[in-house]
Amino acid sequence: MKTMSHAARAAVPVIAIHGGAGTLMRSHISPAQESAYHAALQDVLRASQAVLAGGGTALDAVCVAVQALEDCPLFNAGHGAVFTADATHELDAAVMDGATLAAGAVAGVARVRNPVLAAREVLRDGRHVLMIGAGAERLAQAAGLAMVQPGYFSTEARLAQLRAAQGGGAGAVLDHDGAAALAARAQEGPLDEGRKMGTVGAVALDAQGHLAAATSTGGMTNKRPGRVGDSPLIGAGTYADDRTAAVSCTGHGESFIRVAAAHDVCARMAYGGQALQEASDAVVHQALAAIGGTGGLIAVDRLGNVCLPFNTEGMYRGLARVGQAPESFIYR
């Protein structure tokens, strides 16, 4: 996908979001279902755009965006997260401030309503970057964040995906493959939900020229409990540096970890002199492709350019510049 360029001197704040990449088959989607996803993406974009329009920071904007995506059951993050092999939920999230390189992340949490806010609390606390499980939950609770019972994250559709994966002997599968067994018995759900990779994320540039990124996920359907993907790993699924870009990834986490995808975009810009589009395309279409990695990423650079590449059939995505109408996309 072509980079969406913007004049550097104008420095118009911009937010970009994603809600997962994968094989999104048009034949399985009704106009009403497609409209529902566009409406959800547009609502998130407007809310985070308003933060930037009011002078809010990039970090504020990405957290507002990802929190809203976590609250929407259409996406695999927060409410609507997929199940582990033990029929439990383990959620991961990360945030990074490009102005200071401060970062915070949580992994394997099951009682924090919005994992992205717990990740931000880790950043604010400042003593650590990544916290897991019960320790991360205690930090979140002490900070006054909303806590829930693990059942809050569950939906019938996600449970059906787990049972289908287990019944078919599929092992751990990405969100875009999670309903493969269901597909053999019945038509897929809205936007072929079982065939998309479930991660949400946001990147932003604010009026002060600062960048930030945030990512959140429920992981893989039927994954082994304790598995952690790229989303909460700074440099793999999430990265931001005011000198280059902010990046949030979605896809096969193990592959993104192996190529340090988010940081690689920034490194190609910093050390190789590549522009945002060149660097992003190289990571998605070359580095990941070389090891069979599938998915995509969203990125914004310090000049306000936005790039949204993916190597799958589609990716839920969108962007909104302050003063302009939000744009959302699903297919190429």
Q: Is 250 marked within a binding site?
A: yes
- Residues catalogued as catalytic: 199
- The rounded distance, in Å, linking the Cα atoms of 102 and 39 is 33
**Predicted local confidence at residue 31, as pLDDT:** 85
How far is C-alpha 180 from the chain's CA centre?
22
How far is C-alpha 54 from the chain's CA centre?
24
Residue 161 CB partners (closer than 8 Å, separation 6+): 82, 83, 178, 179, 182, 194, 221
**Predicted local confidence at residue 134, as pLDDT:** 97
Q: Which domains does the chain have, with CATH numbers?
A: 14-331 (3.60.20.30)
**Predicted local confidence at residue 93, as pLDDT:** 98
pLDDT digits over 168-214, tens only? 665 555 554 443 334 433 444 443 444 455 799 999 999 999 999 99
- pTM of the predicted protein model: 0.91
| Burial class (CB within 10 angstroms; exposed 0-12, middle 13-18, buried 19+) of 9 | exposed
- The rounded distance, in Å, linking the Cα atoms of 161 and 23 is 16
Pick from 216, 204, 201: nearest CA to 15: 204
The segments of the chain whose pLDDT lies below 70 read: 1-10, 23-29, 168-197
**Predicted local confidence at residue 178, as pLDDT:** 41
Element containing residue 261 per DSSP (H, E): helix 261-272
Q: Is 26 marked within a binding site?
A: no
Q: Is 252 marked within a binding site?
A: yes
Q: Is 229 marked within a binding site?
A: yes
**Predicted local confidence at residue 51, as pLDDT:** 98
